[in-house]
Amino acid sequence: MMYGQILHPHSPDDCFINVNVGGFKQRMEHNVLNRFPQTRLGRLLCCSSKEAVLELCDDFTPSEMEYYFDRNPHFFYYVLNFYLTGKLHLVDGLCVVSFFQEIEYWGIKERHLDFCCSNKFHELMGLAEDECWDQRSDELQFHSSGSSIEELSASEDNIEMFEGSLCADVRRNIWIRLENPVYSTSAKVMAVASLSLVIISIVAMCVHSMPDFHQVDLNEREIENPALNFFENLCVLFFSAEFILRLAVAPSARKFLCSPLNIIDLMSIMPFYFTVACDIMADGENTDLENVGKVVQILRLMRVFRILKLARHSAGLRSLGATLRNSSSEVGQLVLFLSVGISMFSALIYFVERECQESALQTMPIGWWWATISMTTVGYGDTFPVTLAGKLIGTLCILSGLLIVALPITNIFNKFSKFYERKKRIDLRQSNN
Share of the chain above pLDDT 90, in %: 4
Residue 59, φ and ψ in degrees, nearest 5: -160, 160
HSE of 122, CA atoms in CB hemisphere, 13 A: 8
What is the distance between the alpha carbons of residues 67 and 60, in angstroms, rounded to a whole number?
A: 5
Residues 406, 412, 414, 419: what is their CA dihedral angle, to the nearest 10 degrees? -160
Average the pLDDT over 32-52 and give the result.
86
What is the distance between the alpha carbons of residues 187 and 393, in angstroms, rounded to a whole number?
A: 59
Between 7 and 307, the more confident residue is 307
What is the distance between the alpha carbons of residues 273 and 61, in angstroms, rounded to a whole number?
A: 81
Three-class secondary structure of residue 76 per DSSP:
helix
pLDDT reported for residue 141: 45
What is the distance between the alpha carbons of residues 193 and 181, in angstroms, rounded to a whole number?
A: 11
Of 81-90, 120-129, 367-376, 403-412, the range with the lowest mean pLDDT is 120-129
Q: Is the pLDDT of residue 383 over 60?
A: yes
Q: How confident is the model at residue 313 (pLDDT cuts 50, 70, 90)?
A: low
Between 427 and 339, the more confident residue is 339
pLDDT reported for residue 392: 93
Mean of the per-residue pLDDT values of the chain: 76
DSSP letter, residue 88: B
pLDDT reported for residue 113: 85
What is the distance between the alpha carbons of residues 320 and 429, in angstroms, rounded to a whole number?
A: 21
Which domains are assigned to the chain? 3-134 (3.30.710.10), 156-313 (1.20.120.350), 328-432 (1.10.287.70)
Average the pLDDT over 379-387 and give the result.
85
Top mean-pLDDT range of 165-174, 247-256, 311-320, 330-339: 330-339
| Cβ 68 vs Cβ 41: under 8 Å | no
pLDDT reported for residue 4: 45
Closest-CA residue to 231 (of 198, 256, 258, 260):
198
Q: Is the pLDDT of residue 156 over 60?
A: no
Q: Is the pLDDT of residue 287 over 50?
A: no
What is the distance between the alpha carbons of residues 374 and 368, in angstroms, rounded to a whole number?
A: 10
pLDDT reported for residue 315: 64
pLDDT reported for residue 227: 79
What is the distance between the alpha carbons of residues 262 and 243, in angstroms, rounded to a whole number?
A: 8
Between 328 and 397, the more confident residue is 397
| Cβ 148 vs Cβ 141: under 8 Å | yes
pTM, full prediction: 0.47
pLDDT reported for residue 6: 41
pLDDT reported for residue 295: 60
Q: Is the pLDDT of residue 430 over 70?
A: no
What is the distance between the alpha carbons of residues 327 and 96, in angstroms, rounded to a whole number?
A: 28
| Cβ 46 vs Cβ 33: under 8 Å | no
pLDDT reported for residue 2: 47
Between 212 and 77, the more confident residue is 77
